[in-house]
Each structure stands twice: as C-alpha cells, then as structure tokens.
Amino acid sequence: MISKNAPAAGAVPVRLAIVDDHILFRKGLRALLSGYSGIEVVCEAGNGQELLEHLDQGIRPNVILMDMQMPILDGLQTTRLLRTQFPGCAWSSSPCTTTPP
C-alpha cells in the first residue's frame, strides 16, 4: 500500500514513467502523485518515441503508465517495441478506455 507518509522499511519505491500526449493530464497526474512518498515520477513523454529516447538515456522506470492512443508511436506499438528491446522485464497491461458520451 502506498501512503502519503514515509515509505515502509524495505519498500521498493515506484519509479513511474507517464506517457500521454495530453500535457495537462501528465502534469496533473504528476502533481497528484507528488504527495506520495513511495512514488517518484522519473520521466514524462508525449508519445512512445519520446519514452524510448528517455530509456536510451538510461532512465529506468519500474512502472510505465501509458496512453494507448498517441501520435507518432502509440501505446500498443510502444509496448511491442519494449517487449523486444527489454526482454528481461516483466509485463502486465490493464487497458482502460473511455468513450465520450
């Protein structure tokens, strides 16, 4: 469980990458999560290509929160590339889509 207090002894901090083409969503989520001591946002990207560039620079999140519909390189294409380029990583996906009213 992640709390706003100090992380539990021995707890592994969440190193989060936020990947979404909507900058207000990314900034809002970062602001919301900044109050949690067990979460560190290590990078933001506007599309999958930007995420790959961050990873090429050595940034290593242990959780990636990624939009599925983005320009240049969408979430599905990016996930396929990540699975190929980082075969030792564990993968889990929980697609969440919304349909406007």
Domains of the chain by residue range: 14-85
Superfamily name with CATH number, domain 14-85: Response regulator (3.40.50.2300)
Beta carbons of 48 and 19 less than 8 angstroms apart? yes
Which residues have a Cβ under 8 Å from the Cβ of 93 and sit 6 or more positions away? Answer: 79
For 24, the enclosing helix (H) or strand (E) is: helix 23-33
pLDDT in tens, 24-49: 999 999 999 988 989 999 999 999 99
pLDDT in tens, 48-94: 999 999 999 999 998 999 999 999 999 999 999 998 888 766 666 65
Q: Name the pTM for this structure.
A: 0.81
Task: Check the CA dihedral 81-82-83-85 and report its sign.
Answer: positive
